[in-house]
Chains A and B, each alone.
Chain A
């Protein structure tokens, strides 16, 4: 299957978008989300602390992080990345290519950027359905469908034009 779920979470740990590719009951989701969000957010905080101490600054911030972007959780992995105040968490099977998923997150953000223009938390909140439509064009049943940003956005832009 590959991707099990995609979560977008803000700095406070509130879920802003959740898409699961394997069914979880409401209770399971409510238990899972805070748990993994806490795990990932704690790591990032530790990392920021590290940076403050040793004054590391790198142009390519995404690549030279103090802590790696992978967390093992139960029997799968979470690949996460932080963009400003928004965290992107992707749960994947153990045999998935973690680096590729990291690249995928970046692609997702770029696609959203192209549509919303510098996407932020509020864009996703108030256009939840659009964010979902984009995701739908990119991932289906846990597999990547399309990586061409124009192709991904075409149906959505078509809809916008219709209105």
Chain B
């Protein structure tokens, strides 16, 4: 009885499922069916076994779990009849995979069936084995399969060949057993056996060097002859596709020849003629012919050099590229990508066509072409290519702009011959697709602009013009704001005019207009607005005549619902209104941003906006006794970081609160004048005048302007505490370049909750060596602590081959970054720093603990120091 012809219940189920209008209905039907099948399985109902399985297959296809049917498959396979076995094996292949234990049980049935007298049953078993064989089964059943490679019926031989592929992939050691039988298969005439035999040989070559050598020596000629026969074979209706006899076999043969010819001149020589014949004689007006040509080209490109053939291949690609069938063009682009390593010049010749393909309406083709253009770019053609791409940017699809801008930016950065060109191109990209570029792109641009001191004037004027035309491109706007803030005076005074520029007249109020428009634009986000406010502050000093107007704009944000803007507005307003005398110093032009630092940071982690490279300036003896209180303390008063108060943090808090509320001027300023004053760091940072060097060292100078007058400092001290940037800088203020307000870090309001400053500790000290740990946390990731280890040599000898190692218990994860150097100068004349990242999976429950080992050479003698560190500050 065959359930598919007699029973209607499978059909009924399919109909029922098809009739379902909603997913819920479908689920209900499937659930009911599954329940019925389970019941039937439990009753051990023989008659409905394969019908049940057929249903399960359908249910499985719909994406429902069917694991309960697995045992049924095994039972069906074990039964005697062919129809049962057939459905059983099919179920096995669909419902099970090699990782399931159930599969172990089937090995025995498979073995029996492989030895069955009925060749169709043998075929079933081979097919199943070929699809799901695991390594263990491969070992058990390899002898059977090997024997079947010589079976009388070709239909069994071909299946045995593919089964062998699975076996040698699972257990490569078995490969040698198959080399000889595989070579015999290559002599067959039956197409099915031949194609699978060729496939088996190809796979053998992949897993075994020995097989590759063997086939190269013994079979290359035979294969060439076989290919010749297939190419010249008379019309065979059963294999004919578009006038070509069995293109699939062609392709498999060409693939194997490619493997054999690669890296072997003799074998390559041997196949030259036939490849030339295939390349010239194959009809290219049908897909089948093109498939063969495509494969042939790839083989020609991969085997050892033969000039004539390569020319032929490149010509075929040229023809493909100009074909109007998109499929053909797609494969041509694909192939050119590979050809570029072989013959870059030849590919360059097709540059114009490839560029056309970048503008194709088909996304797949565009993607391929763009990648190809990307590798085609070099110093000599970067300018025209970039121009083409940027021109296209104007008209390209929205969804393609992301990819396209990323590639253009990458090309421009990589091959830029000069800074002015770089800046020009980037401005064009930003004007066209500024909303599609990643943050790094405009960050990099700002760094470059900052470094090109002779182009400041030019750039700011170009940005001013670009802004007039493309004010909706966010990242362009940001760069423009930043530059106008920094170099606004150059814009107004036409400083550094280049010959190529048209002079423009921009008044001070025009410049302020730009920023006002940007801030008020409805699409501007928080970062843009914050940057705008800072720029306004800078302009207020550069353009005294606009000071009042700027103040008015700033004041409007006093009531902003966004805390960040509100704070910023109040702070800046107080600077503008009350501190004329220090303002100009505060808003001085940013020092040149260090390209190396920026690139290093980019390579490190884009997320960690504040990773303090040096910790010398933080010396915070309090404030973290109670971790929960710490952020609050930070927010309330930076004084808490500075006052050396050994009392509990509760007391500090009170003290700080008082400090803020009452603002005793003398006390505050006194504090602020203490040498390692972190709070002022924050302030300096906030105002973007931090220098890239240690801010603590430059502090006294910066403050000298207000030395004589104590009052101005204290309200500043008041303004700063509420700033979000405290945490950003509290861990040293050593990354002023990257500070929030300079526009390099997205000003995520999240910052304020995570930043807690931890005191640095002398983690290890011996007579020769001192190791200091400084701690910081990445915002939003309280589990991870970034530890900056600073090593100082206390002896009079230089240490070489300096290696620091650390081990942590299981609940911690440690990541060590490379040390800054492996040589430690003598007598503390310098230090080595190394960053450690520790992730505490038991954050809040267990504190950090670490075992360390330091090895170095002193006077060519190996020294080893070890120790355990458990005195980490709590809360890490």
Chain A residues near B (Cβ < 8 Å): 15-19, 21, 23, 26, 29-30, 33, 43, 50, 62-72, 97-100, 102-104, 107, 125-129, 132-133, 136, 140-141, 143-151, 155, 158-159, 162-163
Contact = CB atoms under 8 A, between A and B. Distances in A.
Contacts of A43: 363
B327 A145 contact: no
B191 A148 contact: yes
A101 to B, nearest CB: 9
Nearest to A7: B61
A66 B361 CA distance: 8
Contact of B247 (A64, A67, A103): A103
B65 interface: yes
A127 B658 CA distance: 83
B649 interface: no
Contacts of A162: 82-83
A148 B248 contact: no
B287 A99 contact: yes
Contact of B291 (A65, A100, A146): A100
Contacts of A50: 361
A149 B239 CA distance: 8
Interface of B: 2, 4-5, 10-11, 14, 18, 54, 57-58, 61-65, 82-83, 86-87, 90, 93-94, 97-99, 120, 123, 127, 130-131, 155, 158-159, 162-163, 165-166, 191-192, 195-196, 199, 238-239, 241, 246-249, 251-252, 286-288, 290-291, 294-295, 324-331, 334, 361-365, 367
A155 B58 CA distance: 22
A19 B162 CA distance: 17
B127 to A, nearest CB: 5
A23 B295 contact: no
A101 B246 CA distance: 13
A147 B238 CA distance: 8
A137 B361 CA distance: 38
A69 B327 contact: yes
Contacts, number: 163
A103 B291 contact: yes
A128 B57 contact: yes
A140 B58 CA distance: 21
A64 to B, nearest CB: 6
B54 A146 contact: no
Contact of B14 (A29, A125, A143, A144): A125
A21 B130 CA distance: 10
Nearest to B90: A132
Contacts of A103: 241, 247-248, 287-288, 291
A65 B327 contact: yes
A146 B14 contact: no
Contacts of B248: 100, 103-104, 144, 147
A60 B64 CA distance: 39
Given A23-B98, A64-B324, A129-B57, A143 B196 contact: yes
Contacts of A18: 61
9 contacts: A19-B94, A67-B326, A125-B14, A125-B18, A126-B11, A129-B54, A144-B252, A147-B192, A150-B238
A88 B82 CA distance: 30
Given A68-B329, A147-B248, 9 more contacts: A18-B61, A30-B63, A64-B325, A68-B362, A98-B331, A99-B328, A126-B10, A145-B162, A146-B158
B38 to A, nearest CB: 18
A67 B362 contact: yes
Nearest to A160: B5
Contacts of A23: 97-99
Contacts of B246: 147
Given A26-B63, A132-B90, A145 B331 contact: no
Contact of B241 (A15, A33, A66, A107): A107
Contacts of B127: 136, 140
Contacts of B120: 155, 158
A11 B129 CA distance: 34
Contact of B131 (A16, A141, A144, A151): A141
Nearest to A154: B155
Given A18-B61, A63-B287, A68-B365, A141 B130 contact: yes
A65 to B, nearest CB: 6
Contact of B192 (A125, A128, A145): A145
Given A68-B362, A100-B291, A136-B127, A63 B327 contact: yes
A70 B327 contact: yes
Given A140-B131, A148-B191, A15 B327 contact: no
